[in-house]
Structure formats: structure tokens, C-alpha cells
Structure 1
Amino acid sequence: MYHVVIGVDDDAEHALACVEEVGKMPGDASEKQVTLVHSFTDNPSGASATQIRSIREAGEYLDEHGIEYDVNEASGDPADVIIELAEEEDADLIVIGGRKRSPAGKALFGSVTQTVILNAGRPVMVTGVPNRA
């Protein structure tokens, strides 16, 4: 069985790209377990992760494909949250959505994807956003 932790931000296209790649992994749906994780850096309204569109759409995809999943929410630095959860759950793989950024943008704002790749002690898959027609 594969246990995959997927870091989900507010971008529904990134979330769908991540779950679609998990769906393509070898093996039946029954051999895959997914934890969707969303980290709130600012949550004045007190929303829960299941209220986030990207989490809902990722969950719908997983439901439609018979892949078991759960949702985890936390507060704090998203990269740290993803890495810590993957370690706690002894995940086989971390999946995150990448995005294009200029070198200056990376230097100024950092990159969750880059931090996870460099600091996770397990395999990391980075997905792009496919061109959807």
C-alpha cells in the first residue's frame, strides 16, 4: 500500500494535478491511502480545511476513483507542516504542486516546494498544472 501526503494550497488546479498523479500510480485504488494537508497561515474566519475549494475538489476526485483519504489541517509554515506530517505518518511519498516563479520571486518569497524537496527525508513528486482545454 502507498501512503501519500499531498500538500494542498488554495489553488484547485494544483490540487487536481496532484491527486490525478496519485491516481496514475501503479496499483489499484485500494492500494493507495492519501492524506490531504492544508496549512493555514492566516485564518481569521476560522475556516476548516474541508471548506477550502481545492480540498473539496481533490476529495471529490479521490472519492470518484475509490481512493481512501483523510484531511489534515494545521497552522504554520506550509513546508514544515507537510514535512512533519509525512514523517509522523511515515508516508511513502509527498506530492506537491509546483508553480513558475522568477528567481527574484523565489528569493523574496521563498518556495514551499523548494523547501519540501530539500528538507523532506522521503521522495517528493512535484506536479505542474496541465493545460486544460
Structure 2
Amino acid sequence: MYTILVPVDADEDRARGQAAFVSELPAADTDIEAVITHALTGEEVDAPEEIRNVERIATVRVVRDYLEERDVDVRLAEGQQPPADGILSLAEEFDADHIAMGSRKRSPTGKAVFGSVSQQVLLEADVPVTVVGAREE
């Protein structure tokens, strides 16, 4: 089984782009497991346990539903703060083979440098990292 970590933020179009990337990989419906994660904010971490659930995050549900509709195996994992460290830690914990990050539209100058989370993951990950764009419904 090829494991892909899919860390999502709050943007549903980016989340759909990440889900589409995973589902369009060869043998996605038979040989890939997607681990979807979201780094809970300070408020979310401090919430009572019954509502401190990564599945409550809309983008996590978007990716989960999209992939499950395409018969991709899915697991959910709670990310930790700061997000880049949490992503790298989960990649190690789940023995991920790949990380599929979302990206924002940026100005020409902004394209020269990824966001700090993407940049840190790209520089420090021990596995391939793909940065994908947004997809609208």
C-alpha cells in the first residue's frame, strides 16, 4: 500500500485539488491509502474532546468524501501545531510515501517563495512532496 499524507487547511477548493491529485494517480482505488489531516488551531485543541475531532473540519470531510466516492482508502489524523512540524511528524508516524500539499494563487513575486508551511515541508520532508493547485466544484 502506497500511503499519501494529505494535509488540508480551510480552503475547500485547495482541498478538492489535493483530493483530485490523489484520486488521479495510477491504481488509486486499489493501492493507495490517503491519510487526511488538519492542524487543529489553539481554540480547537482546547475544545472539549467530543468536539475536538478532525472530522468536524469541512475540508477534511470534502477530501474524505471525494476520495471515498472514488474507492480510495482513507484514514483521518489530527495534526499538531505548528502545522509544518505536525505534517512532518505525521508523515513519519504513518510511514508516508508521499505528501500532497495544497497551494494558493500568488503574485509573480509570491510564486518565487512558497508559504512558510509548504516551504518547510518541501525542505525537510524525507519523502516526495507535491504541491497542487485549487480545483473548483
* Structure 2: gaps spanning 5 or more residues: none
Aligned to 1:60: 65
User: Corresponding residue for 2:16?
Assistant: 16
Whichever residue aligns with residue 63 of structure 1, its letter is E
Structure 1: tracts of 5 or more residues without a match: none
Distance 2:35 2:123 in 1: 21
**Among residues 107, 113, 132, which one is paired with 2:118 in the alignment?**
113
Amino acid in structure 1 at the alignment position of 2:2: Y
Describe the SS at the equivalent of 2:16: helix
Q: Aligned residue for 1:41?
A: 41
Q: CA RMSD in A?
A: 2.1
Structure 2 counterpart of 1:25, one-letter code: L
TM-score (norm 1): 0.86
Instruction: Give the drift of 1:42.
Output: 2.3
Instruction: Give the match's secondary structure for 1:71.
Output: strand
- For the Cα contact (< 8 Å) 2:102–2:132, is it kept in 1? yes
Matches of residues 56-95 of structure 1 in structure 2 within 5 Å? 56-95=61-100
The 8 Å contact of residues 30 and 67 in structure 1, kept in 2 or not, is answered as yes
Identical positions, percent: 34
Corresponding residue SS for 1:43: helix
How high is the TM-score relative to the length of structure 2?
0.84
User: Following the alignment from structure 1 to structure 2, what is the Cα–Cα distance between the partners of residues 75 and 93?
Assistant: 19
Deviation at 1:28, TM superposition (A): 4.5
